[in-house]
Amino acid sequence: MADLTTDFIGIKSPNPFWLASAPPTDKEYNVRRAYEAGWGGVVWKTLGEEGPPVVNVSGPRYGAIHGPDRTLLGLNNIELITDRPLEVNLREIKSVKRDYPDRALVVSLMVPCEQGPWEKIMRAVEDTGADGVELNFGCPHGMAERGMGSAVGQVPEYIEIFTRWVKAAIRMPVIVKLTPNITDIRYPARAAHAGGAD
């Protein structure tokens, strides 16, 4: 059998098949099921700072995008960041990583555009034993209106500054999730690199 072991920016996993940050990675029960099914890693559903949880949309959270002939072109996830308390997520992340040390576990994060909240949540995530963090500068709905997500991802200077803050605060690998909602992805990519993204 072929060896599918993967090393991505220092994060090791038994195979390159990971689940992205989305409803299937929003809680311990789901992530454990994913690992038992053979997934090599997950990016935990995007966490926000302490405080009242985000109120998510109710009802259907996915929308279909159809072509002119009604051919399914894609799906759109309209769910926001996690609506579960930060401390619950952190406790579950620590538990899962303890029980599945060979699986990759990256935590997606989105907090306000201030150095203090980024540094605080980074230290809390690092204490869980997670393998790395994803800075969610990509989501274009719900959080951008609050100055987060793609509102950051569309301004290369912000990307560089926030990435630099995070890299100075933690030792784990940092992935920057960029938004496709920009005219030239090379500028934000260069900014993430300049800020120290792995």
For residue 113, indicate whether it is catalytic: no
**Helices and strands (H, E) in the chain, number of each type:** 6, 9
Closest CA to 189 of 50, 179, 96: 179
- Give the number of other CB atoms < 10 A from CB of residue 168: 13
For 84-94, give one letter per residue: b (16+ CB within 10 A) or e.
bebeebbebbb
- The H or E element spanning position 184 is none
Cα separation, 126 vs 113, in Å, equals 20
Q: Which residue's entry shows tokens 């890299």?
A: 167
- Could you say which of 93, 96, 133, 139 is catalytic? 139
User: Does residue 35 contact residue 13 with C-beta atoms inside 8 Å?
Assistant: no
- The H or E element spanning position 154 is none
Which residues belong to the active site?
Answer: 139
